[in-house]
Every structure is written in structure tokens, then in C-alpha cells.
């Protein structure tokens, strides 16, 4: 109660004998104007808070997307470096004759095993082959034309020969398939 009495006494001291504000009350604002000012400030702070929350939510989503991209595409440079290794192992396995298989079976088995391990590692990291079929329509997003040749009976713009298979990592092209394309008959 003493606090309430103290406040009342202070208020009476500031008011004149006629009940009108004294000179000491000049620094005090109109209560309605002050309430409006506080409401405006409250609205502004609420708007800033909501905008900051939205910015933080957008940042969280972007960072999550960047993390997933880094996880999927982070090994792109290493994968590009390993593609020639894959190509050489494939060529080595394809060039083995039956006679060589009989003579050096364990060595050839080791080469084939190494190639399978590399292919399995590629699959584990979402690296997939682009191996176009003969007669398939040339797709400049996936194929690189190494030559163009007229071929009777084959429509223009179709794959004639695959020189090197291509690869994708996730949804991105790692290396286009190198192909020969028909220019028509």
C-alpha cells in the first residue's frame, strides 16, 4: 500500500491546485499517444521478428540443400580423375583372349575384380553410366559427337558408334558419351 500512496502523492505534487498539469508535468506525453506509439513499435518489432524468422528458415533450407549437394557432388573432381582408370580397366578386360585367360587366369581375375570394385564404388556414390545404343537418337545433353558420317538406311542424328561411355553423378553430367553420329543416307 505504501507504494501506491507514494505514487499518488507524487502525482498530486505534479498536478496544480486546479487539477491541471503543473509545469513539472510538461515532460510527460499524452497517454493515448504513448499507447499508439507503443503499438506501432510493437508492430514494427513483430514484423522484424517475423522477417528474421523467415530469413533463418530460408537459410536453414539453403544450408540443407547445400549439404546434400556437397554430399552428392563433392567427389566430382575425384570421379573425373578415376574415369580414365575405369576406361583402361575396361579396355584391358575386353582385350583379353581365351589363350591369355588360360595362362594367367588369376591375374585376369584380379583385374576383373578391380574393375567391379571401381564400378561398385561409382554406384555407391551415384555415378551412373551413359551407354547409348546404336541407332539411339543423339542427345547433345548426354553425348559428344566425335564424328559424323553418312550411313545408308540410318536416320540422320542417330548414334552409329560409341567410342567412350559417358557418366553422370547424381543429376549432373560428369562426362558425355563420345559417339559417332549418322548424317543420313
Kindly state whether residue 97 falls inside one of the protein's structural domains. no
Kindly state whether residue 162 falls inside one of the protein's structural domains. yes
Kindly state whether residue 134 falls inside one of the protein's structural domains. yes
Q: Please, which residues have CB within 8 angstroms of residue 46's CB and are 6 or more apart in sequence? A: none
Total domains in the chain come to 1
Q: 177 and 165 in contact (C-beta within 8 Å)?
A: yes
**Domain of 154: which CATH number?**
2.30.22.10
Domain range for 162: 127-185
Kindly state whether residue 62 falls inside one of the protein's structural domains. no
Kindly state whether residue 136 falls inside one of the protein's structural domains. yes
Per-residue pLDDT of the chain (185 residues; tens, 9 = 90+): 556 666 566 656 655 555 555 555 555 558 888 899 999 999 999 999 999 999 999 999 999 999 998 988 888 999 999 999 999 999 999 999 999 999 999 999 999 999 999 999 999 999 999 999 988 999 999 999 999 999 888 888 999 999 999 999 999 999 999 999 998 76
Amino acid at each position: 500500500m505504501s507504494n501506491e500512496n507514494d505514487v499518488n502523492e507524487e502525482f498530486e505534487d505534479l498536478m496544480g491546485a486546479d487539477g491541471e498539469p503543473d509545469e513539472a508535468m510538461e515532460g510527460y506525453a499524452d497517454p493515448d499517444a504513448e499507447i499508439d506509439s507503443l503499438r506501432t513499435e510493437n508492430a514494427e518489432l513483430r514484423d522484424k521478428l517475423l522477417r528474421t524468422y523467415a530469413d533463418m528458415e530460408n537459410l536453414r533450407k539453403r544450408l540443407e540443400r547445400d549439404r546434400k549437394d556437397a554430399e552428392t557432388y563433392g567427389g566430382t573432381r575425384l570421379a573425373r580423375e578415376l574415369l580414365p582408370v575405369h576406361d583402361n580397366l575396361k579396355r584391358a578386360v575386353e582385350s583379353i583372349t581365351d589363350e591369355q585367360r588360360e595362362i594367367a587366369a588369376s591375374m585376369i581375375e584380379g583385374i576383373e575384380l578391380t574393375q567391379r570394385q571401381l564400378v561398385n564404388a561409382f554406384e555407391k556414390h551415384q555415378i551412373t553410366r551413359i551407354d547409348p545404343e546404336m541407332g539411339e537418337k543423339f542427345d547433345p545433353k548426354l553425348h559428344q559427337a566425335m564424328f559424323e558420317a553418312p550411313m545408308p538406311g540410318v536416320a540422320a542424328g542417330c548414334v552409329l558408334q560409341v567410342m567412350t561411355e559417358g557418366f553422370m553423378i547424381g543429376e549432373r553430367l560428369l562426362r558425355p558419351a563420345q559417339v559417332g553420329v549418322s548424317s543420313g543416307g
